[in-house]
Amino acid sequence: MSKKMIIYNPSTREIVSLPKGSRNLHKGTGIGFGFDPRSSKYKVARVFYQRDDETSMLVCKFEVLTLGTINVWRQTEDPPYPIGKSTPVHVKGAIYWMVSRTSLCPDPPNTLVRFCLTDEKFSLFPCPCNVKPSCLTGLGDELYCGYFFSQPLRLEIWGCSVVGQKPEWTRRCALQIPPDVIKRPVASPLVVFHGKMLLLALKKVYKYDIQACKLEKIPLVVEDFMCYDRENNMYQTYSKKEVMDFHLFNYVESLVSIREF
């Protein structure tokens, strides 16, 4: 599969290719996607690294593309701390990133970096218990942090409604994980409706029933996948053999064409 960036609507199976962003000198890149309530536009946010002219050190940079405009990347202010390639989370008009440990920032603070899609400014967002989370996810108007502990093997989920200047975190649940079920840290918890939670460990997915405190594996089959490329007026098929990575996401179903964004 090519490394080009695309926007994909799972409901309509429609894709739109994005223009190339600034050159990235760091392995991997972090990309966020969200809705700006002021302009009613969707925006794509991208992290990239370039060398400082004076020190020749890699510096974390940031750029934004607004869908439905001239589709040009605009560079913003630099993030306050380095951001890695981990998948960010969009909640209520802002994108949340975890701080990355680099040679320029060997001991990063236990905080999240928040990027507001309206004014395109950065701010710091506190973590629960002042501890860096293992992963992030979001559902509706709430931001969730997941903490994976090895002794004993358990996962804690903390939620925050991200309202006001002083966010309040609440521990939503804590589950014991049998070592014979999941032997590696959970990559990304996904909280869903009806008291169920989906957990991803490598390419295996598990369902946790919060009420019954029951954990079970979900059969998963990766299939070939076809989508429609409006720009070239053609269908494209992606083979399951080309799948290099695996993620779980929440999304709101929409039958609106991407071209109308």
Region 7-23: mean pLDDT is 86
**Burial (Cβ within 10 Å: 0-12, 13-18, ≥19) of residue 129:** middle
Residue 40, both tokens: 């009613």
Lowest mean pLDDT among 44-58, 93-107, 119-133: 93-107
Whether residue 1 lies inside any domain: the answer is no
pLDDT at residue number 181? 62
Q: Inform me whether the pLDDT recorded for 103 exceeds 50.
A: yes
CATH number of residue 87's parent domain: 2.120.10
Give the CA distances from residue 226 to residues 9, 15, 93, 234, 252, in Å, rounded to whole numbers and listed in that order.
Answer: 12, 10, 30, 10, 20
17 token code pair:
């290719």
What is the rounded average pLDDT for all residues in the chain?
Answer: 80
Residue 35: band (very low, low, confident or very high) from pLDDT cuts 50, 70, 90: very high
Q: Is the pLDDT of residue 123 over 90?
A: yes
Mean of pLDDT values over 145-173: 80
C-alpha distance across the termini of the chain, in Å: 25
- Which pLDDT band, with edges at 50, 70 and 90, does 244 fall under? low
Could you tell me which residue, 52 or 199, shows the higher pLDDT? Answer: 52
Distance of CA 36 to the CA centre of its chain: 17
What is the average pLDDT across 158-179? 79
What is the model's pLDDT at position 195? 58
Q: What is the pLDDT of residue 83?
A: 87
- Which of residues 172 and 244 earns the better pLDDT score? 172
pLDDT for position 221? 67
Amino acid at 12: T
Interacting residues of 17 by C-beta distance below 8 A, sequence separation 6+: 4, 5, 6, 229, 231
Q: What value does the mean pLDDT take over residues 234-242?
A: 71
pLDDT confidence of residue 1: 38
Average pLDDT over residues 64-74: 89
pLDDT at res. 245: 65
Could you tell me if residue 217 is inside a domain?
A: yes
202 has a pLDDT exceeding 60: no
**Containing structural domain, residue 219:** 6-260
Number of domain units in the chain: 1
What contacts 208, CB < 8 A, 6 or more positions away?
A: 175, 196, 197, 198, 199, 214, 215
